Chain A
């Protein structure tokens, strides 16, 4: 789930929690779901990291090699 989807999902949960007719059990389940979504979302940012690669033309393809930025 990406950030926009997570945000939308959290929004839905908030709406359900704002609805007085939502049964207690459902409300608790929704809240737990929301906590998990938030945790997943924040973990993705903390853990993952995109790569920077240098492309090199081979015969019929482009090869990725790690890119180390030169110190300036």
Chain B
């Protein structure tokens, strides 16, 4: 036996041989950890969503590492605060690049994503966005993928509610944000194609606290229903003020969160909305396990944002595995190639998530109705 190799060492090496045989070959360029960046609006004025996104990310990373990481290498999330401000988001992204040479990043907030995506695109950083819905982000960037239904899908899904009831006159309350304007633009086209009439369009800042004038004008237009193209917590105040000011028409939207419920209070009753449908009670094992773990850790049911950012980490982890299996190092390009080669990825919603070539995804959108303060699933939207 050559000097330096003892009998004990040789026995250990022989014992480890089967495991080494089955494991993917270690790549020369393997990093010490697979670091995934995330840009969240942690101190934005409407930052509740970022809190649940962060929870989802943390849970996914902890779970993956508890199972030994990806092929034995740990995963780490590098979360930066974009404050809801595009300039700050770009600075945060550059920090992630400079510090960690980040290869994959989770984006949020349409305006921040729009500012950050060109930098990622230029540097071939893989992007996954589970929060933004703006159509301005779809098909424009080859490294950007969405695991949330985008505005065109959500607007059409929400408008399926009044269409089923043969309503014709729509009034709109839209946020002066990129998401709100995307929904407004796409819903106008969809509603006109259906033969409906838009009797009033009102707008307000996402964080506006005084919307009395808008509500007065919406009420006077006497619509068949009111469409609220705003995100949390905006719809809460719209619901409250619309009902306080005597609007009895159905109100539809695209989101209902705990924040909206708190602000709207009793006036949320009957609110109908279209949203990505995360069903914690589905029979599939993964959604059930995720929902149970989330409840145990945070004392609340996981919502869409928590599920999407949890899922985002798992999607990237799956792509890292695929890239490594193909002998490629951890780069944004390798992740993108792996996804385009097989756009099906396991989803925490159950079944598979399928990505379109333009970066959007095929995800079923549910129609919900609020009763006793809780959102109840009605049916899946028919989007012919």
A binds B: no
A contact residues vs B (CB 8 Å cutoff) = none
